[in-house]
Amino acid sequence: MHLKKLELQGFKTFAQKTVLEFLGEGQGRRGVTGVVGPNGSGKSNIADSLRWVMGEQSMRLLRSKKSEDVIFSGSAKKPRAGFAEVSLTMVNDGNDEIDLPEIVITRRLYRDGQSEYEINKKAVRMSDVVMLLAQCGVGQRTYSVIGQGMVDAVLSASPAERKEFFDEASGLKPFQLKRQSAVLKLEATRENLQQAEMLLREIEPRLSSLERQVKRLKQREAIEEELRGLEKEYFGGAWAEIRERLRTGQSEAAEAKKLFAERNAEAEKIEQELAALEKATPVSSELREVRQGIDALKEERAKLRERQIRLESRREVAKVQSSKPWSPLPLSKIIDRIEKLNSSHDELLQELGKEAPDMAKLKKLATELKSAHESLLSQLQQPAPEVKETPQDPELEKEMAALLKDTAAVSEKILAAEKQLQELNAKDDKARSHLFELQRALTAKRHDVQREEQRLSAANVALARHETRRDAYLAELRQQAPGLEGDVEKLADAINQRKNDGELEVMRSRIQRLRSQLEFIGGIDPETIKEHETTKLRFDTLSTQSLDLREAMKSLQVVLEELDKTIKERGDVAFRQLNHEFGIYFKKLFNGGDAELIKVEPEDEGGGEETGEGEQTEEQETTAAKREATGIEIHATPPGKRLKAIALLSGGERALTSIALICAIMAINPSPFVVLDEVDAALDESNSRKFAEIVDSLSDNTQFIVVTHNRATMDKADVLYGVTMGDDGVSQLLSVNLEGREATKNPR
């Protein structure tokens, strides 16, 4: 990898587009490019532009106060530029990690603060540029660009800062960047894991509550399904029974009505024949009076029979209405009854706690408590306790008894009158034998009519009972299962086997028990299932994410361990080589003496305990990082002296020591290119020649761009760029090829 071209436009004093072309690899060396010019001409801005295009953010190192200071600010004869742009072109000549034959890195800054980075004309992030340069072995903070004052800064730096400089120069920067990226990913993964676990802890109680509600809802659905099936079977079977009984009752009533009409017609026919015979055969006044009395009594008895039928119908209706469907106690009433029982218990316990309890009061309290328990239990138990026949209305019963008594009295009077009639008829039996036969036949028919009338009355009462039960059934159906009202006929037809009263009562009790369970479960929002599914899906997703994050943390831990191992192994090898080369160059520059690099290990603070599953806590990672961040001390003893501390060296000795150190770094890990910005300014003529020879020897593996005033260094340059500045405040270039010794005005 070597520099091919550097293009500047609007950067500091280079207002116009300026191009610096560098020699490629030839004759076994990469060459030296010198940049010379008077003070203030802007030649150091070339070094600044290289540092800036490689991603430098420090305004101090760029000799600026704010970012827009790198844009040409204008002069009396030249307006200011709207942006600053620097493009660095590098040729890949053997780096297998990069599959680009030529790399063009561009950085552009506008006055509004907008900044752009490009690699081969494609927009990228600054971190991409830094990573690419690290893969190339170049960094904006390493020895690739060494400016004024940075030579002594290596010696003045702290051991940790010096170690960072050496690591980057030793080619460890890509691994350190990867390690830093892995640490950041690990921290982000840990934060994500904490957030996921926090969300799981928040969701878990709600999910448990929803699962309980869904379980109850499923129980409710099962109960409702069983209840619907039982209701269909119960109401269908009950309607089939009621319908059959209604049909039977209606048939019996119609049959009784028909027989009654027939018997009554026969009796009327005999009466008509008897009346005609009586007209022909005069009847005694006594006999007529008796017959009239019998007719009056029979009419009275018929009225009493009619009243009796109405009363019996009222009594049957009252019986059916009194047997209303049983329903369980509401939950609020159950709670009230239980609170009353608790109060009675407390009163009983207080009475027992007295020294001389009142036995009569104790017995009374115990009896009341037992009665209350039995009452509550009888209303809560399933099936509902069988309802006993309730007593009828006393007034109704009294009226019925009086009616029966009157009916019996009238019947006795009729019997007595008929007996008297028979006695009267017997006196004139022979004369009126046919009349008597008709009368006897009429009496017999009257008895048949009476029997049929009683049968008809019983049939009407039974029919009224069935109709009342039908009405009660329909009322219960509308109250408990209104949706089945239109399907009762189909349900009744679907019943294969007729249900008896016992089976229907068992089913009814089961239905009441299921309704009680539904009331106990209470109403549950159907949206609960959807919320449960959503919450469960989120919980499972977070659980899976937590497991994935834990696996990712394990993988990152493995990557960190491998990177730490690689950094340590390569760092140790590079440090030994650097220490060796530093001693050689130090002796070469000082013509003797001794110099070495010493690692400064931090105090062992003790390792923390490892957490489960091989994870490390944040404190352990910090401790491990501190353990790796070893510093480097420099001990230098010039010939003829016993000094070791860097602070005791003179300015020239410090400069030579810094140069020796930089040369050692370039020797063990040659950079593709190195920019030296007046590094040799503090050297005398003799040391300048030594420095120039070292640069010339290192140029076999490293391309040098040297900003200098030193003749010895210029003498080793293959190409010289002269920087001048006119009265317009704009820097311009003159290029000199020392091989051809031809000078031309740079047309760019």
For 680-711, write each residue's pLDDT tens digit.
777 778 888 888 888 888 888 788 888 888 88
Reduce the secondary structure of 309-334 to three states and give it as a string. HHHHHHHHHHHHHHCCCCCCCCHHHH
pLDDT score at 609:
41
Domains of the chain by start residue, with CATH: 1-144+672-748 (3.40.50.300)
What CA–CA distance (Å, rounded) separates 33 from 695? 11
Going by pLDDT thresholds of 50, 70 and 90, the confidence category of residue 117 is very high
Virtual torsion, Cα 682, 685, 691, 695, nearest 10 deg? 110
d(CA 9, CA 422): 155
Both tokens assigned to 682: 């503090």
Intra-chain end-to-end CA distance of the chain, in Å:
25
What's the mean pLDDT when you consider all of the chain?
75
Whether residue 163 contacts residue 629, with contact meaning beta carbons closer than 8 Å, is answered with yes
Predicted local distance difference test score (pLDDT) of residue 625: 45
Q: Is the pLDDT of residue 196 over 80?
A: yes
What's the farthest any 2 CA atoms get from each other in the chain?
191
Q: Considering only residues 654 and 438, tell me which one the structure prediction assigns the higher pLDDT.
A: 654
Residue type, 743: A
| Contact residues for 721 (Cβ-Cβ < 8 A; gap 6+) | 20, 33, 34, 35, 36, 46, 733, 734, 735, 736
pLDDT tens by residue, 582-633: 888 888 888 888 888 888 876 543 444 444 444 444 444 444 444 554 688 8
Contact 553, 190 (CB under 8 A): yes
Which of the listed ranges 71-85, 517-531, 661-675 does the model predict with the highest average pLDDT? Answer: 71-85
pLDDT band at 257 (very low <50, low <70, confident <90, very high): confident
String of DSSP letters for 152-181:
HHHHHS-HHHHHHHHHHHTT-HHHHHHHHH
* Residue 10, burial from CB neighbour count under 10 angstroms (0-12, 13-18, 19+): buried
Integer Cα distance of 435 and 283 in angstroms:
10
For the full predicted model, state whether its pTM sits above 0.75: no
Tell me if 273 sits within 8 A of 437, measured CB to CB: no
Query: 7: which strand partners?
Result: 19, 87
**Secondary element (H or E) of residue 7:** strand 2-9
β-partners of residue 80 are: none
Rounded Cα distance, 89 and 6, in Å: 6
Q: Residue 546 pLDDT more than 80?
A: yes
Which comes out higher in pLDDT, residue 425 or 498? 425
| pLDDT band at 262; cut points 50, 70, 90 | confident
Please check whether residue 70 is in contact with residue 56, taking contact to mean a CB–CB distance below 8 angstroms: no
What percent of the chain stands above pLDDT 90? Answer: 6
User: Residue 719's pLDDT is what?
Assistant: 86
Backbone angles phi, psi at 137, to 5 degrees: 85, 25
pLDDT, mean of residues 385-405: 68
Sign of CA dihedral 249, 250, 254, 255: negative
Query: What pLDDT was estimated at residue 116?
Result: 93
When pLDDT is cut at 50, 70 and 90, the band that residue 569 belongs to is confident
**pLDDT digits 0-9 by tens, 265-314:** 877 777 777 677 666 555 566 777 777 888 888 788 778 777 777 777 67
67-76, 159-168, 649-658, range with greatest mean pLDDT = 67-76
- Is the preceding peptide bond at 383 cis, omega within 30 degrees of 0? yes
Strand 703-707 versus strand 673-677 pairing type: parallel
Length of the chain: 748
Given this model, what pLDDT does residue 459 score? 77
Average pLDDT over residues 384-396: 59
More confident residue, 155 or 428: 155
Question: Are 746 and 734 spatial neighbours (Cβ–Cβ below 8 Å)?
Answer: yes
Contacts of 395 (CB under 8 A, 6+ apart): none
What pLDDT does residue 123 have?
A: 92
**Rounded to 5°, angle at Cα 10 from 9 and 16:** 60
Q: What is the pLDDT of residues 77-89, one digit of tens each?
A: 888 899 999 999 9
439-459 pLDDT tens trace: 777 777 778 777 777 777 777
* Alpha carbons 509 and 327: distance in angstroms, whole number: 10
Token look-up 């587009």 returns 17
520 has a pLDDT exceeding 70: no
> Which one is predicted more confidently, 502 or 259?
259
Dump the DSSP string for 480-496. Answer: H-GGGGGGHHHHHHH-S
Close Cβ partners of 546 (under 8 Å, ≥ 6 residues apart):
193, 196, 197, 200
**Residue 739: both structure tokens together:** 């091989």
pLDDT confidence of residue 385: 47
Handedness of CA 175, 179, 185, 186 (dihedral sign): positive
When comparing pLDDT for 172 and 320, which is higher? Answer: 172
| Separation in Å, CA 443 to CA 415, 417, 446 | 11, 12, 5
Sign of the Cα pseudo-torsion (351, 356, 361, 363, in order)? positive
